[in-house]
Amino acid sequence: MPSWVSYQFQPAPAICLSSLGVFSVAAAGGPGAAPQGLRGWLRRAYRFATDRNDFRRNLLVNLGLFAAGVWVARNLTDIDLMAPQPVP
Amino acid sequence: MHPPLLPRLLPPALLTAPRGQRPAGESRRQGPCGTRRDAPGHRTGPGGGTRSRRDATAPLIQLPRHRREASAVLAEVFPQQMEGVKLIVTKTLSSHFQVTHTVHMSTLGPSSYHFNATFVGDRQLGPTEAFPTLIGDMDNSGSLNAQVLHLVAERIRTKAVFQTHQTKFVTWQFDGEYRGDDCTATLTLGNPDLLGESVILVAHFLQSITSRLVLGGEMVYHRRPGEEGAILTLAGKYTALKWVATLNVGYGGAHASYYHRANEQVQVGVELEANTRLQDTTFAFGYQLNLPQANMVFRGLLDSNWSVGGVLEKKLPPLPVTLALGAFLNHWKNRFHCGFSVIVG
Protein backbone atom coordinates (compact mmCIF):
# COMPACT_ATOMS: atom_id res chain seq x y z
CA MET A 1 0.00 0.00 0.00
CA PRO A 2 1.47 3.41 -0.89
CA SER A 3 2.82 5.34 2.03
CA TRP A 4 0.58 8.31 1.36
CA VAL A 5 -2.51 6.17 2.02
CA SER A 6 -1.52 5.40 5.56
CA TYR A 7 -0.51 9.02 6.00
CA GLN A 8 -3.86 10.27 4.82
CA PHE A 9 -5.79 8.18 7.30
CA GLN A 10 -3.49 8.80 10.22
CA PRO A 11 -5.11 10.92 12.88
CA ALA A 12 -3.26 14.15 13.46
CA PRO A 13 -1.64 14.55 16.90
CA ALA A 14 -3.76 16.67 19.23
CA ILE A 15 -0.72 18.63 20.44
CA CYS A 16 0.23 19.75 16.97
CA LEU A 17 -3.29 20.70 16.08
CA SER A 18 -3.82 22.55 19.35
CA SER A 19 -0.77 24.66 18.60
CA LEU A 20 -2.49 25.65 15.41
CA GLY A 21 -5.71 26.47 17.23
CA VAL A 22 -7.48 23.30 16.23
CA PHE A 23 -8.66 21.19 19.13
CA SER A 24 -10.33 18.34 17.38
CA VAL A 25 -8.51 15.21 16.33
CA ALA A 26 -8.74 14.46 12.66
CA ALA A 27 -10.55 11.29 11.78
CA ALA A 28 -10.17 9.20 8.68
CA GLY A 29 -12.32 10.62 5.86
CA GLY A 30 -13.29 13.65 7.98
CA PRO A 31 -12.45 17.33 7.53
CA GLY A 32 -8.91 16.63 8.70
CA ALA A 33 -8.34 14.44 5.68
CA ALA A 34 -8.35 17.47 3.40
CA PRO A 35 -5.43 19.19 5.18
CA GLN A 36 -3.65 15.84 5.30
CA GLY A 37 -4.13 15.42 1.56
CA LEU A 38 -3.12 19.00 0.94
CA ARG A 39 -0.04 18.66 3.12
CA GLY A 40 0.88 15.48 1.34
CA TRP A 41 0.44 17.15 -2.02
CA LEU A 42 2.54 20.09 -0.95
CA ARG A 43 5.22 17.76 0.34
CA ARG A 44 5.30 15.84 -2.91
CA ALA A 45 5.38 19.07 -4.90
CA TYR A 46 8.28 20.36 -2.79
CA ARG A 47 10.20 17.13 -3.25
CA PHE A 48 9.54 17.25 -6.97
CA ALA A 49 10.71 20.84 -7.25
CA THR A 50 13.90 20.26 -5.27
CA ASP A 51 14.90 16.82 -6.52
CA ARG A 52 17.80 17.68 -8.76
CA ASN A 53 18.37 14.04 -9.60
CA ASP A 54 15.07 13.70 -11.42
CA PHE A 55 15.58 14.38 -15.12
CA ARG A 56 11.86 14.84 -15.79
CA ARG A 57 11.61 17.34 -12.97
CA ASN A 58 14.65 19.24 -14.17
CA LEU A 59 13.27 19.35 -17.69
CA LEU A 60 9.88 20.65 -16.61
CA VAL A 61 11.31 23.25 -14.27
CA ASN A 62 13.82 24.52 -16.81
CA LEU A 63 11.16 24.53 -19.52
CA GLY A 64 9.03 26.73 -17.30
CA LEU A 65 11.99 28.97 -16.61
CA PHE A 66 12.67 29.20 -20.33
CA ALA A 67 9.09 30.24 -21.00
CA ALA A 68 9.28 32.80 -18.21
CA GLY A 69 12.56 34.11 -19.60
CA VAL A 70 11.07 34.51 -23.06
CA TRP A 71 8.07 36.36 -21.58
CA VAL A 72 10.38 38.68 -19.65
CA ALA A 73 12.50 39.29 -22.74
CA ARG A 74 9.47 40.17 -24.84
CA ASN A 75 7.60 42.28 -22.33
CA LEU A 76 9.89 43.81 -19.76
CA THR A 77 13.04 44.79 -21.59
CA ASP A 78 12.01 47.77 -23.69
CA ILE A 79 13.76 50.20 -21.40
CA ASP A 80 15.43 53.48 -22.24
CA LEU A 81 18.45 53.46 -19.96
CA MET A 82 19.36 57.08 -20.77
CA ALA A 83 15.91 58.50 -20.07
CA PRO A 84 15.87 61.13 -17.31
CA GLN A 85 14.46 60.06 -13.98
CA PRO A 86 10.89 61.15 -13.34
CA VAL A 87 10.60 64.18 -11.11
CA PRO A 88 8.03 63.71 -8.28
CA MET B 1 48.90 55.56 -40.82
CA HIS B 2 47.47 52.31 -42.06
CA PRO B 3 43.81 52.05 -42.92
CA PRO B 4 41.90 50.11 -40.30
CA LEU B 5 41.48 46.39 -40.60
CA LEU B 6 38.08 44.79 -40.85
CA PRO B 7 36.04 45.99 -37.92
CA ARG B 8 35.41 42.52 -36.56
CA LEU B 9 38.45 40.40 -37.02
CA LEU B 10 38.28 37.22 -35.04
CA PRO B 11 39.60 37.97 -31.54
CA PRO B 12 42.55 35.91 -30.45
CA ALA B 13 40.64 33.56 -28.17
CA LEU B 14 37.80 32.97 -30.60
CA LEU B 15 39.31 29.96 -32.20
CA THR B 16 36.76 27.71 -30.60
CA ALA B 17 33.21 27.50 -31.74
CA PRO B 18 30.88 30.21 -30.59
CA ARG B 19 29.01 30.07 -27.40
CA GLY B 20 26.55 27.39 -27.03
CA GLN B 21 28.28 24.92 -29.20
CA ARG B 22 29.62 21.96 -27.45
CA PRO B 23 32.26 19.67 -28.71
CA ALA B 24 30.76 16.33 -29.62
CA GLY B 25 30.24 14.21 -26.56
CA GLU B 26 30.87 16.97 -24.05
CA SER B 27 28.43 18.23 -21.56
CA ARG B 28 27.91 21.86 -20.90
CA ARG B 29 30.69 23.81 -19.53
CA GLN B 30 31.52 23.58 -15.90
CA GLY B 31 33.56 26.60 -14.99
CA PRO B 32 35.13 27.16 -11.62
CA CYS B 33 31.84 28.47 -10.38
CA GLY B 34 29.99 25.62 -11.98
CA THR B 35 28.63 28.05 -14.54
CA ARG B 36 27.56 26.41 -17.66
CA ARG B 37 28.31 29.19 -19.93
CA ASP B 38 31.88 28.73 -20.69
CA ALA B 39 32.03 25.86 -22.86
CA PRO B 40 34.95 25.36 -25.03
CA GLY B 41 34.55 24.45 -28.58
CA HIS B 42 31.13 23.91 -29.77
CA ARG B 43 29.18 26.31 -27.75
CA THR B 44 28.63 23.03 -26.67
CA GLY B 45 29.52 22.64 -23.50
CA PRO B 46 30.49 25.51 -21.77
CA GLY B 47 33.35 23.21 -20.68
CA GLY B 48 34.83 21.78 -17.55
CA GLY B 49 37.51 22.83 -15.18
CA THR B 50 38.87 26.25 -15.67
CA ARG B 51 38.34 26.45 -19.40
CA SER B 52 36.47 29.44 -20.67
CA ARG B 53 34.01 29.38 -23.49
CA ARG B 54 36.57 30.81 -25.78
CA ASP B 55 39.56 28.80 -24.65
CA ALA B 56 41.90 28.52 -27.57
CA THR B 57 43.19 25.16 -26.43
CA ALA B 58 39.78 23.49 -26.45
CA PRO B 59 38.85 20.95 -29.11
CA LEU B 60 36.89 22.43 -31.96
CA ILE B 61 34.13 21.21 -34.18
CA GLN B 62 32.41 24.22 -35.66
CA LEU B 63 28.90 24.14 -36.93
CA PRO B 64 27.84 25.56 -40.24
CA ARG B 65 26.70 28.98 -40.97
CA HIS B 66 23.22 29.52 -39.64
CA ARG B 67 23.69 27.72 -36.37
CA ARG B 68 27.01 29.43 -35.90
CA GLU B 69 25.45 32.80 -36.55
CA ALA B 70 22.61 32.17 -34.14
CA SER B 71 25.01 30.97 -31.48
CA ALA B 72 27.36 33.87 -32.13
CA VAL B 73 24.54 36.32 -31.53
CA LEU B 74 23.80 34.72 -28.17
CA ALA B 75 27.50 34.53 -27.42
CA GLU B 76 27.67 38.30 -27.62
CA VAL B 77 24.91 38.68 -25.04
CA PHE B 78 26.18 36.28 -22.41
CA PRO B 79 29.22 37.33 -20.38
CA GLN B 80 32.45 35.41 -20.47
CA GLN B 81 33.60 34.10 -17.17
CA MET B 82 36.60 36.01 -15.92
CA GLU B 83 39.19 35.17 -13.34
CA GLY B 84 42.55 36.61 -12.57
CA VAL B 85 44.11 39.48 -14.46
CA LYS B 86 44.42 39.67 -18.21
CA LEU B 87 46.28 42.15 -20.38
CA ILE B 88 45.54 42.19 -24.10
CA VAL B 89 47.54 44.40 -26.40
CA THR B 90 46.53 44.56 -30.05
CA LYS B 91 48.64 46.19 -32.71
CA THR B 92 47.58 46.69 -36.28
CA LEU B 93 50.67 46.56 -38.44
CA SER B 94 48.94 47.10 -41.76
CA SER B 95 45.53 46.92 -43.37
CA HIS B 96 46.01 43.17 -43.63
CA PHE B 97 48.02 42.18 -40.62
CA GLN B 98 47.36 42.36 -36.90
CA VAL B 99 49.14 40.92 -33.89
CA THR B 100 47.92 40.50 -30.33
CA HIS B 101 49.75 39.78 -27.11
CA THR B 102 47.77 38.31 -24.22
CA VAL B 103 49.13 37.88 -20.73
CA HIS B 104 46.87 36.07 -18.29
CA MET B 105 47.72 35.94 -14.61
CA SER B 106 45.38 33.21 -13.42
CA THR B 107 44.17 32.51 -9.91
CA LEU B 108 42.97 28.99 -10.71
CA GLY B 109 45.69 27.53 -12.86
CA PRO B 110 49.02 28.34 -14.43
CA SER B 111 49.45 31.77 -15.92
CA SER B 112 49.94 31.99 -19.64
CA TYR B 113 51.06 34.16 -22.52
CA HIS B 114 49.49 34.01 -25.98
CA PHE B 115 50.75 35.45 -29.20
CA ASN B 116 48.22 35.83 -31.96
CA ALA B 117 48.74 36.86 -35.55
CA THR B 118 45.97 37.48 -38.07
CA PHE B 119 46.30 37.99 -41.78
CA VAL B 120 43.38 39.10 -43.92
CA GLY B 121 43.47 39.00 -47.70
CA ASP B 122 42.16 41.38 -50.30
CA ARG B 123 38.95 39.69 -51.31
CA GLN B 124 36.32 41.17 -49.05
CA LEU B 125 32.77 39.90 -49.34
CA GLY B 126 31.32 41.75 -46.40
CA PRO B 127 32.18 43.83 -43.35
CA THR B 128 33.33 40.76 -41.48
CA GLU B 129 34.28 38.44 -44.31
CA ALA B 130 37.53 38.60 -46.18
CA PHE B 131 39.54 35.90 -47.87
CA PRO B 132 41.93 34.38 -47.41
CA THR B 133 42.12 34.67 -43.65
CA LEU B 134 44.92 33.13 -41.65
CA ILE B 135 44.86 33.10 -37.86
CA GLY B 136 47.53 31.69 -35.60
CA ASP B 137 47.72 31.60 -31.83
CA MET B 138 50.55 30.16 -29.78
CA ASP B 139 51.00 30.10 -26.05
CA ASN B 140 54.03 29.92 -23.83
CA SER B 141 53.90 26.11 -23.64
CA GLY B 142 54.12 25.79 -27.41
CA SER B 143 50.49 24.88 -28.03
CA LEU B 144 49.24 26.14 -31.35
CA ASN B 145 45.85 27.08 -32.72
CA ALA B 146 45.70 27.82 -36.41
CA GLN B 147 42.86 28.51 -38.83
CA VAL B 148 42.86 29.03 -42.56
CA LEU B 149 39.76 30.27 -44.34
CA HIS B 150 39.72 30.39 -48.11
CA LEU B 151 37.18 31.14 -50.80
CA VAL B 152 37.69 28.49 -53.46
CA ALA B 153 34.84 29.61 -55.69
CA GLU B 154 32.07 32.14 -55.46
CA ARG B 155 29.84 29.76 -53.53
CA ILE B 156 32.37 27.36 -52.04
CA ARG B 157 34.34 28.10 -48.92
CA THR B 158 36.87 25.96 -47.18
CA LYS B 159 38.39 26.05 -43.77
CA ALA B 160 41.16 24.15 -42.04
CA VAL B 161 41.74 24.14 -38.30
CA PHE B 162 44.71 22.74 -36.45
CA GLN B 163 45.24 22.57 -32.73
CA THR B 164 48.24 21.21 -30.90
CA HIS B 165 48.93 20.67 -27.25
CA GLN B 166 52.62 21.35 -27.03
CA THR B 167 54.03 18.86 -29.54
CA LYS B 168 51.00 16.68 -30.04
CA PHE B 169 48.24 17.33 -32.54
CA VAL B 170 44.87 17.45 -30.81
CA THR B 171 42.59 18.60 -33.59
CA TRP B 172 42.84 18.72 -37.34
CA GLN B 173 39.62 19.64 -39.03
CA PHE B 174 38.61 20.42 -42.58
CA ASP B 175 35.42 22.15 -43.66
CA GLY B 176 33.81 22.62 -47.01
CA GLU B 177 30.76 24.85 -47.31
CA TYR B 178 28.49 25.50 -50.25
CA ARG B 179 26.25 28.56 -50.10
CA GLY B 180 23.35 28.53 -52.47
CA ASP B 181 20.75 31.21 -53.00
CA ASP B 182 18.52 29.80 -50.28
CA CYS B 183 20.42 26.91 -48.83
CA THR B 184 23.68 26.03 -47.16
CA ALA B 185 25.42 22.67 -47.17
CA THR B 186 28.51 21.91 -45.16
CA LEU B 187 30.73 18.91 -44.77
CA THR B 188 33.23 18.69 -41.94
CA LEU B 189 35.93 16.15 -41.37
CA GLY B 190 37.19 16.02 -37.82
CA ASN B 191 40.45 14.32 -36.98
CA PRO B 192 40.54 12.01 -40.01
CA ASP B 193 43.05 9.22 -39.42
CA LEU B 194 43.50 6.75 -42.26
CA LEU B 195 45.93 4.58 -40.37
CA GLY B 196 43.88 4.51 -37.20
CA GLU B 197 40.64 4.16 -39.17
CA SER B 198 38.93 6.88 -37.22
CA VAL B 199 37.09 9.96 -38.29
CA ILE B 200 34.34 12.33 -37.25
CA LEU B 201 32.11 13.40 -40.09
CA VAL B 202 29.55 16.17 -39.80
CA ALA B 203 27.12 16.89 -42.61
CA HIS B 204 24.86 19.88 -42.29
CA PHE B 205 22.14 21.25 -44.51
CA LEU B 206 19.94 24.31 -44.05
CA GLN B 207 17.14 25.40 -46.32
CA SER B 208 15.31 28.70 -46.23
CA ILE B 209 11.62 27.86 -46.38
CA THR B 210 10.49 31.45 -46.20
CA SER B 211 12.30 34.72 -45.72
CA ARG B 212 12.11 34.13 -41.97
CA LEU B 213 12.06 30.38 -41.49
CA VAL B 214 15.07 28.16 -41.94
CA LEU B 215 14.89 24.40 -41.47
CA GLY B 216 17.60 21.88 -41.69
CA GLY B 217 19.36 18.96 -40.22
CA GLU B 218 22.72 17.75 -39.13
CA MET B 219 24.22 14.32 -39.02
CA VAL B 220 27.28 13.52 -36.97
CA TYR B 221 29.01 10.25 -37.76
CA HIS B 222 31.97 9.00 -35.81
CA ARG B 223 34.07 5.95 -36.37
CA ARG B 224 36.81 4.32 -34.39
CA PRO B 225 38.21 0.79 -34.46
CA GLY B 226 35.47 -1.38 -33.11
CA GLU B 227 32.97 1.43 -32.74
CA GLU B 228 30.90 3.65 -34.92
CA GLY B 229 27.72 5.63 -34.59
CA ALA B 230 25.67 8.44 -35.96
CA ILE B 231 23.44 11.10 -34.48
CA LEU B 232 20.83 13.00 -36.43
CA THR B 233 19.68 16.41 -35.30
CA LEU B 234 16.90 18.52 -36.78
CA ALA B 235 17.29 22.28 -36.65
CA GLY B 236 14.98 25.18 -37.14
CA LYS B 237 15.41 28.91 -36.91
CA TYR B 238 12.83 31.67 -37.11
CA THR B 239 13.95 35.24 -37.56
CA ALA B 240 11.64 38.14 -36.86
CA LEU B 241 12.29 41.84 -36.87
CA LYS B 242 13.42 42.03 -33.28
CA TRP B 243 13.96 38.45 -32.22
CA VAL B 244 15.41 35.15 -33.29
CA ALA B 245 14.37 31.72 -32.05
CA THR B 246 16.18 28.46 -32.72
CA LEU B 247 15.39 24.88 -31.90
CA ASN B 248 17.58 21.83 -32.35
CA VAL B 249 16.18 18.41 -31.56
CA GLY B 250 18.07 15.17 -31.85
CA TYR B 251 18.70 11.81 -30.32
CA GLY B 252 21.11 13.22 -27.80
CA GLY B 253 18.81 15.95 -26.59
CA ALA B 254 17.43 19.32 -27.49
CA HIS B 255 18.56 22.90 -27.50
CA ALA B 256 16.33 25.94 -27.68
CA SER B 257 17.37 29.56 -27.71
CA TYR B 258 15.64 32.90 -27.94
CA TYR B 259 17.32 36.20 -28.68
CA HIS B 260 15.45 39.47 -28.34
CA ARG B 261 16.71 42.91 -29.24
CA ALA B 262 14.45 45.21 -27.28
CA ASN B 263 16.11 48.40 -28.49
CA GLU B 264 19.53 49.80 -29.27
CA GLN B 265 20.49 49.52 -25.61
CA VAL B 266 19.03 46.26 -24.38
CA GLN B 267 19.47 42.74 -25.73
CA VAL B 268 18.30 39.58 -24.02
CA GLY B 269 19.11 35.93 -24.60
CA VAL B 270 17.42 32.87 -23.14
CA GLU B 271 18.65 29.34 -23.57
CA LEU B 272 17.47 25.87 -22.66
CA GLU B 273 19.44 22.72 -23.13
CA ALA B 274 18.47 19.12 -22.42
CA ASN B 275 20.95 16.29 -22.74
CA THR B 276 19.33 12.86 -22.61
CA ARG B 277 22.61 11.02 -22.55
CA LEU B 278 23.84 12.87 -19.51
CA GLN B 279 20.31 13.18 -18.08
CA ASP B 280 20.85 16.84 -17.52
CA THR B 281 19.05 20.06 -18.38
CA THR B 282 20.13 23.64 -18.00
CA PHE B 283 18.58 27.04 -18.40
CA ALA B 284 20.33 30.37 -18.77
CA PHE B 285 19.19 33.95 -19.01
CA GLY B 286 21.55 36.65 -20.17
CA TYR B 287 21.27 40.28 -21.06
CA GLN B 288 23.42 43.02 -22.49
CA LEU B 289 23.12 46.71 -21.75
CA ASN B 290 24.88 48.93 -24.22
CA LEU B 291 25.43 52.61 -23.47
CA PRO B 292 27.61 54.16 -26.15
CA GLN B 293 27.11 57.57 -24.59
CA ALA B 294 28.83 56.27 -21.49
CA ASN B 295 31.26 54.07 -23.43
CA MET B 296 30.00 51.17 -21.39
CA VAL B 297 28.67 47.68 -22.00
CA PHE B 298 27.33 45.45 -19.25
CA ARG B 299 26.48 41.78 -19.60
CA GLY B 300 24.68 39.77 -16.96
CA LEU B 301 23.94 36.10 -16.53
CA LEU B 302 21.64 33.93 -14.46
CA ASP B 303 21.36 30.18 -14.89
CA SER B 304 19.80 27.09 -13.39
CA ASN B 305 22.99 26.10 -11.63
CA TRP B 306 22.38 28.92 -9.19
CA SER B 307 25.08 30.99 -10.84
CA VAL B 308 24.93 34.71 -11.32
CA GLY B 309 27.57 36.82 -12.94
CA GLY B 310 28.27 39.99 -14.75
CA VAL B 311 30.96 41.69 -16.79
CA LEU B 312 31.32 45.43 -17.15
CA GLU B 313 33.34 46.81 -20.06
CA LYS B 314 34.27 50.45 -20.00
CA LYS B 315 36.20 52.30 -22.64
CA LEU B 316 38.56 54.97 -21.42
CA PRO B 317 38.74 57.64 -24.11
CA PRO B 318 40.83 59.26 -25.41
CA LEU B 319 43.09 56.32 -24.67
CA PRO B 320 42.57 53.23 -26.83
CA VAL B 321 42.01 51.24 -23.65
CA THR B 322 39.08 49.15 -22.49
CA LEU B 323 38.74 48.01 -18.90
CA ALA B 324 36.66 44.93 -18.16
CA LEU B 325 35.56 43.87 -14.67
CA GLY B 326 33.83 40.57 -14.08
CA ALA B 327 32.49 38.56 -11.17
CA PHE B 328 30.69 35.23 -10.98
CA LEU B 329 29.05 33.63 -7.99
CA ASN B 330 27.72 30.11 -7.68
CA HIS B 331 25.33 29.99 -4.77
CA TRP B 332 24.89 26.23 -4.85
CA LYS B 333 28.59 25.43 -4.70
CA ASN B 334 29.43 28.53 -2.71
CA ARG B 335 32.12 29.65 -5.13
CA PHE B 336 33.06 33.14 -6.18
CA HIS B 337 35.44 34.32 -8.85
CA CYS B 338 36.27 37.74 -10.11
CA GLY B 339 38.79 39.21 -12.45
CA PHE B 340 39.59 42.14 -14.64
CA SER B 341 41.10 42.71 -18.06
CA VAL B 342 42.83 45.61 -19.71
CA ILE B 343 42.54 45.68 -23.48
CA VAL B 344 44.83 48.03 -25.35
CA GLY B 345 44.25 48.73 -29.02
Digit-coded pLDDT (tens) for A27-66: 445 555 666 788 998 888 887 777 767 788 889 889 999 9
Q: Is residue B22 part of a domain?
A: yes
Statement: residue B54 has pLDDT above 60: no
For residue B173, what are the domain limits? 12-344
CATH number where B21 lies: 2.40.160.10
Q: Is residue B215 part of a domain?
A: yes
Most confident range (mean pLDDT) of A51-55, A82-86, B164-168, B296-300 is B296-300
In a domain, B48, yes or no: yes
Which of A70-84, B158-172, B209-223 bottoms out in mean pLDDT, i.e. has the lowest?
A: A70-84
Chain B: give the shortest CA distance to residue A49, in Å: 13
Q: Does B2 reside within a domain?
A: no
What pLDDT score does B255 carry?
A: 94
In this predicted structure, which of B48-62, B115-129, B197-211 has the lowest mean pLDDT? B48-62
Contact B263 A59 (CB under 8 A): no
What is the total count of domains within chain B?
1
Residue B31 has pLDDT above 80, yes or no: no
Distance CA B233, CA A66 (A): 21
Answer yes or no: is the ipTM higher than 0.85.
no
Mean pLDDT of B157-186: 94
Tell which wins on pLDDT, B12 or A61.
Answer: A61
For A:43-62, CB contacts with B below 8 A are: 55, 58-59, 61-62
- CB of A83 within 8 Å of a chain B CB? The answer is no
For residues B296 and B252, give the distance between their C-alpha atoms in angstroms, rounded to a whole number. 39
Question: Distances in Å between the alpha carbon of B209 and those of B182, B200, B212, B246, B273?
Answer: 8, 29, 8, 14, 25
Q: Is residue B4 part of a domain?
A: no
Q: Is B195 helix (H, G, I), strand (E, B) or coil?
A: coil
| Residue of A65, A74, A82 lying closest to B304 (CB–CB) | A65
- Minimal C-alpha gap between A69 and chain B (Å): 6
Q: For chain B, say whether A72 makes contact (Cβ under 8 Å).
A: yes
pLDDT at B101: 97
What percent of chain A clears pLDDT 70, i.e. is strictly above it? 58
- Name which residue leads in pLDDT, B164 or A51: B164
The chain B residue lying nearest A80, using CA atoms, is B265
In 3D, which of B253, B275, B216 has the Cα closest to residue B64? B216
Which of the pair, B242 or B17, is modelled with greater confidence? B242
| pLDDT for B129 | 85
pLDDT-derived band at B74, boundaries 50, 70, 90: confident
For residue B286, pLDDT over 60 is answered with: yes
Q: Is the pLDDT of residue B132 over 90?
A: yes
What is the DSSP secondary-structure string of B73-134? HHHHHSPPP--EEEEEEEEE-SSSEEEEEEEEE-SSS--EEEEEEEEEEEEEEETTEEEEEE
What does the pLDDT average to over B133-156? 95
Mean pLDDT check: name the lowest of B4-13, B219-228, B279-288, B322-331: B4-13
- Residue A63 touches chain B, beta carbons under 8 Å: yes
B105 belongs to a structural domain? yes
> Is residue B292 in some structural domain?
yes
User: Is there a domain that residue B213 lies in?
Assistant: yes
Residues A72, B285: C-beta atoms closer than 8 Å: yes
Residue A29: the pLDDT is 52
Report the alpha-carbon distance of residue B184 to residue B343 in Å, rounded.
Answer: 36
Cβ-Cβ pairs closer than 8 A, A with B, add up to 67
* Nearest CB neighbour to B268, from listed A59, A61, A73: A73
pTM: 0.72
